[in-house]
Amino acid sequence: MIEERPTDPIAEVARLLPGAMRWLFAPPAEQSALWDLPPPQMRALFMLRHRGDLTMHEVAGGLGVAMSTATQLADRLERLGLVGRRADAADRRVVRLALTESGSAALAEHAQVRDQRIAAAMEQLSPGEREVVLQGLRLLEKSARGSSPEPARLGRHLVWEMMTAGMQPAAETQE
């Protein structure tokens, strides 16, 4: 007879959630053109997608880095064809950074692969199990929002941006 041992729910969440996120949100290199980008470059791309074109000062501030670091980051992303620079319409001395069509397409493809992975995982569950998963995630998200401060600057948290990209805040979702 197998004895059931009580599990620590905090340890179980700490163990299960990162694994689920890794399988659902981090596709292998062959499935994402963005796989090899360092986290600061990914954060910059997510910031540009969410906020539109930004000044180099805004990029540096959003990433919490020096202007020289933001400039080097922009140089790398520009060489990859993911972003472009342009002069600000109001002040030509100000440089703005924006996603290129290739950058937007790469982010859209990244999101599509994420959605396909989630769909594939959910399809393995029965309709009842899917509802249980969704109900559990809604409850966990709601209680986490109530007990944890929201990140002060969304652009500084890659996982936050990956998790919330294209998603509605809990207050807007059905409960």
The residues near 21 (Cβ < 8 Å, ≥ 6 apart) are 159, 163
Which tens digit of pLDDT belongs to each residue from 85-115? 999 889 988 999 999 999 999 999 888 888 9
Quick one: pLDDT at residue 145?
85
Say how far residue 83 (Cα) sits from the centre of its chain: 18
**pTM metric for this prediction:** 0.70
